[in-house]
Amino acid sequence: ELKVEQNPLFLSMQEGKNYTIYCNYSTTSDRLYWYRQDPGKSLESLFVLLSNGAVKQEGRLMASLDTKARLSTLHITAAVHDLSATYFCAVDRDGNQFYFGTGTSLTVIP
Amino acid sequence: DAMVIQNPRYQVTQFGKPVTLSCSQTLNHNVMYWYQQKSSQAPKLLFHYYDKDFNNEADTPDNFQSRRPNTSFCFLDIRSPGLGDTAMYLCATRGVGGNTIYFGEGSWLTVV
């Protein structure tokens, strides 16, 4: 059974602080995705990581992938309120099946 | 312009009354997915199509069926909705070997 687990599930952080969300997965996969979801909305693509060691950055978010450890991280730098949302990682298995992690609900407090 | 369009966006149906959700895409993608997302949960893959090849997840209830009459359209049929089927249903598409997955805006289904 494929498992994609994130931690923490809930994260409350102050503005200006840094934090990391972790995504562990149980299958062999070279592709890892990060999405953002606002309440009542669909999914917004943040990053696609395509190989071991891949690192991508956009604004205050940076994602990395270690395929050997089956681990991806989403690092938040100097958080701002606008980053409050739920973040999902997702794993591609065999190029067609696509499974989401458990999600991390982030609240940034002024 | 939206590339993956889901209809209806909001649907209220009675317990046991069949409902159909539709998804259309302008991307000519081979792969289409249906996900169910309940409140405060992660999206759960129900099934996917690779062209006409249908792939059902092992734990998808028999109550959920799907049709793909052509490349552009895909339907999710819920034959006898239960209260536990209240959720947002997401459609997504992907080209063969593509790295980007495109999601629709979702269809909110409430079963009363």
Supply φ then ψ for residue B110, to 5 degrees: -120, 125
Q: How far is A108 from chain B (nearest CA, A)?
A: 18
DSSP, residue by residue, chain A: ---EEEE-SEEEEETT--EEEEEEESS--S-EEEEEE-TT--EEEEEEE-STT-EEEETTEEEEEETTTTEEEEEE-S--GGG-EEEEEEEEETTTEEEE---EEEEEE-
Instruction: Judge whether A43 is closer than 8 Å to chain B, CB to CB.
Output: yes
- Three-class SS state of B31: strand
pLDDT tens per residue across span B35-89:
999 999 999 999 999 999 999 999 999 999 999 999 999 999 999 999 999 999 9
CB pairs under 8 A between A and B: 45
Nearest neighbour of B100 by CB, restricted to A48, A95, A97: A48
- Per-residue pLDDT of A46-104, as tens digits, reads 999 998 899 999 999 999 999 999 999 999 999 999 999 999 999 988 777 889 999 99
CB atoms B101 and A103 under 8 Å: no
